[in-house]
Amino acid sequence: MRKTVVFDLDGTLADTSGDLIAAANAVFEARGEGAKLVPVEDRSTALRGGMAMLSLGYERGGSEGPEDYQALLMHYEANIDRHTFLYPGALECVEGLRSDGYGVAICTNKPEGLAETLMSRLGVRDRFHSLIGADTLTVQKPDPAPYIEAVTRAEGDVARSLIIGDTETDAKTARAVGVPVVLVGFEPDEDVARHDPDHIITHFDQLRGVVRDLIG
């Protein structure tokens, strides 16, 4: 079994906030409320998921409507790759890790079908040995089971693996499993240090060396 690097998706491998915000705003506009979320300004909320965006929008509009979550998902799926992009160096880093002999996997709290569609649309799904989404199992991160399943499907050794993420959820997942966590701090205002990661990177060209230091 090989050493394995497990990536979160939203906010780690790819900036998906533009398409997520567009989907949420489409829901608000369909209700006649106009756009409620602002690209860039509301990026961190978008990367926490659909319900976080809807809650913020409803709060700003003085209304509520959690039943619109399915409408958000439908709009998002139809427009999933219009504004989304891989972070600089991400693809080169993944390919470098593969050439170094590591297994590479994705463990995300995005629904599996959406994650599969997005990675395929971006043309990089075949670079990853496995992909586990929010609904692949009956639990999701920070429960350790999805992470363990991602490593197992990548034919990896959990004891010789680590997670790359961007949120407290990823840090908690690593602690639940007992593996190192590397958090990305691509934006100047991101305070990922408060989650006490084993390492922080600000560009993907730093990651291969950090992986070698942490798991060999």
Residue 188's closest CA among 44, 85, 50, 89?
44
Task: Check residue 190 and give its pLDDT.
Answer: 80
Residue 2's closest CA among 199, 211, 144, 172?
211
Q: Using only C-alpha atoms, what is the Rg of the chain?
A: 17
Q: What pLDDT, in 10s, does the model give residues 133-147?
A: 999 999 999 999 999
Task: Check residue 86 and give its pLDDT.
Answer: 98
Q: What pLDDT, in 10s, does the model give residues 87-114?
A: 999 999 999 999 999 999 999 999 999 9
* Structural element, H or E, at residue 160: strand 156-165
Task: Check residue 48 and give its pLDDT.
Answer: 84
**Are 16 and 122 spatial neighbours (Cβ–Cβ below 8 Å)?**
no
Q: So which residues are the catalytic ones? A: 8
Q: What pLDDT, in 10s, does the model give residues 152-194?
A: 999 999 999 999 999 999 999 999 999 999 999 998 778 899 9
**Are 136 and 143 spatial neighbours (Cβ–Cβ below 8 Å)?**
no
- For the record, the structure tokens of 169 come out as 């959820």
Q: What pLDDT, in 10s, does the model give residues 22-49?
A: 999 999 998 888 899 999 899 989 988 8
**Are 113 and 133 spatial neighbours (Cβ–Cβ below 8 Å)?**
yes
* Structural element, H or E, at residue 97: helix 90-99
Q: Respond yes or no on whether the N-terminal peptide bond of residue 142 is cis (omega within 30° of 0).
A: yes
Q: Could you give the CA distance from residue 28 to residue 8 in angstroms, rounded to a whole number?
A: 28
The one-character DSSP state at 61 is H
